[in-house]
């Protein structure tokens, strides 16, 4: 009887161990599936971002005290100098290498992907003496948001764009888009050019102040650099102020330890609202995408161009057809 009891207990313990092992295996499989799904999403988002990344024209001004021979107009990483301190970016320009970077994010609804692209300059500068302390500031980040319809193809169809130029938004549509004027009048046609076998939108930034619009509403005047997205993460430095083929690296705003992760960094931002700090000339600089704002657009709140782009596009455009404002994926929220 005693032996029988021992055997029963041993058998019960064995069954329990098997059950736990099965549960562990199930948990491991679920964890692996979740990791694979995350990796697949990251991989798709990076492919989508590359597919529609702009061909970017950057006007360059080599004259003036703060131009650094044109260097102050080169796009680069926010932490180009090896740190996330916004208050030394102006002064570190002369002795640093400004390799080309572009920050992006992907937000998804049932019908569209909304892609934000942002270009950083350590200096927003002027060569007009009496504007030195009125118009110049440390740190500048301006960009574009694209609406891409999920039409059944791998990376969809581009239908509209809104750019950030200082404290104003400008809207554009590519040829053939169904989008028409909404509460805002469309400002022009978004030009596309062939690159790596696909049509990409063409953007442009002015020298010094770095307002961004669809090319050719801004364009290179004399010296300037043309940047192209890199498929393999290459971040090149212009050979000179006339370099017309410079690769930029696409950087996910939500990458581990990246820009979004730094939103509470008090050496970078005044607060989590996304306003860059700055020591030189005007105190403070431009804003991160989640704080971009059109100063006279009361229907769209601060940052919604990036954090709630479906709302913005629904307001800015008519003729949007089947258009969802329900998010499947919105890492800003």
Q: Which residues pair with 141 in a beta bridge?
A: 120
Q: What average pLDDT score do residues 304-311 get?
A: 98
Average pLDDT score over the chain:
90
Say if residues 107 and 332 touch (Cβ distance below 8 Å).
yes
User: What pLDDT is recorded for position 136?
Assistant: 92
Cis, peptide link before residue 216, omega less than 30° from 0:
yes
The tens digit of pLDDT for each residue in 80-107 reads: 999 999 999 999 999 999 999 999 999 9
Please, which pLDDT band fits residue 121 given cuts at 50, 70 and 90?
very high
User: What pLDDT is recorded for position 23?
Assistant: 53
Q: Which pair of structure tokens corresponds to residue 12? A: 């019960």
Please, which pLDDT band fits residue 133 given cuts at 50, 70 and 90?
confident
pTM of the model: 0.88
User: What pLDDT is recorded for position 131?
Assistant: 82
Instruction: Assess whether pLDDT exceeds 60 at residue 244.
Output: yes
* Distance from C-alpha of 196 to C-alpha of 328, rounded to nearest angstrom: 29
Please, which pLDDT band fits residue 271 given cuts at 50, 70 and 90?
confident
Please, which pLDDT band fits residue 258 given cuts at 50, 70 and 90?
very high
Please, which pLDDT band fits residue 9 given cuts at 50, 70 and 90?
low
- CA distances, 49 to each of 64, 65, 91, 156, 179 (Å): 36, 36, 32, 12, 22
Instruction: Assess whether pLDDT exceeds 50 at residue 18.
Output: no
Q: Which pair of structure tokens corresponds to residue 261? A: 């992760």
Long-range contacts from 309-312, C-beta under 8 angstroms, 24+ separation: 309/107, 309/114, 309/116, 309/145, 309/147, 310/107, 310/109, 310/112, 310/114, 312/145, 312/162
The tens digit of pLDDT for each residue in 24-82 reads: 555 454 444 444 444 556 799 999 999 999 999 999 999 999 999 999 999 999 999 99
User: What pLDDT is recorded for position 272?
Assistant: 74
User: What pLDDT is recorded for position 26?
Assistant: 52
Please, which pLDDT band fits residue 22 given cuts at 50, 70 and 90?
very low
The tens digit of pLDDT for each residue in 166-181 reads: 999 999 999 999 999 9
Say if residues 262 and 137 touch (Cβ distance below 8 Å).
no
Closest by CA position to 49, among listed 95, 116, 123: 116
Instruction: Assess whether pLDDT exceeds 70 at residue 204.
Output: yes
User: What pLDDT is recorded for position 273?
Assistant: 84
Please, which pLDDT band fits residue 157 given cuts at 50, 70 and 90?
very high
* Distance from C-alpha of 144 to C-alpha of 25, rounded to nearest angstrom: 45
Instruction: Assess whether pLDDT exceeds 80 at residue 3.
Output: no
- CA distances, 313 to each of 161, 169, 320, 328 (Å): 8, 12, 9, 17
Instruction: Assess whether pLDDT exceeds 50 at residue 108.
Output: yes
User: What pLDDT is recorded for position 130?
Assistant: 80
Closest by CA position to 119, among listed 194, 233, 210, 192: 210
């Amino acid at each position: 009887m005693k032996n029988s009891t021992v055997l029963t207990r041993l058998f019960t313990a064995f069954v329990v161990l098997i059950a736990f092992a099965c549960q562990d295996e199930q948990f491991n499989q679920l964890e692996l599936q979740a990791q694979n799904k995350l990796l697949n999403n990251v991989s798709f988002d990076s492919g989508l971002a590359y597919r529609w990344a702009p061909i970017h024209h950057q006007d360059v001004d080599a004259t003036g005290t703060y131009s650094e021979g044109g260097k102050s107009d080169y796009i680069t990483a926010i932490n180009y100098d090896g740190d996330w301190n916004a208050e030394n970016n102006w002064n570190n320009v002369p002795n640093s290498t400004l390799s080309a970077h572009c920050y992006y994010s992907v937000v998804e609804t049932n019908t569209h992907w909304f892609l934000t692209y942002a270009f950083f300059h350590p200096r927003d500068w002027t060569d007009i003496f009496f504007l030195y302390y009125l118009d110049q500031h440390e740190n500048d980040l301006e960009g574009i948001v694209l609406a891409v319809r999920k039409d059944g193809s791998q990376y969809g169809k581009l239908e509209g764009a809104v750019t950030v130029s200082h404290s104003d938004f400008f809207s554009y549509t590519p040829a053939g888009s169904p989008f028409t004027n909404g509460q805002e009048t469309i400002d022009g046609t978004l030009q596309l050019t062939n690159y790596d076998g696909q049509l990409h939108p063409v953007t442009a930034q002015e020298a010094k102040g770095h307002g961004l619009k669809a090319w050719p509403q801004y364009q290179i005047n004399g010296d300037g650099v043309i940047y192209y997205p890199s498929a393999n993460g290459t971040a090149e430095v212009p050979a000179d102020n006339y370099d017309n083929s410079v690769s930029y690296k696409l950087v996910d705003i939500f990458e581990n330890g990246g820009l979004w992760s730094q939103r509470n960094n008090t050496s970078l931002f005044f607060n989590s609202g996304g306003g860059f700090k700055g020591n030189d000339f005007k105190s403070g600089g431009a804003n991160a995408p989640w704080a971009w704002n059109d100063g006279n657009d009361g229907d769209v709140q601060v940052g919604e161009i990036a954090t709630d782009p479906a709302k913005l596009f629904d307001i800015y455009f008519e003729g949007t057809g089947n258009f969802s404002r329900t998010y499947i994926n919105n890492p800003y929220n």
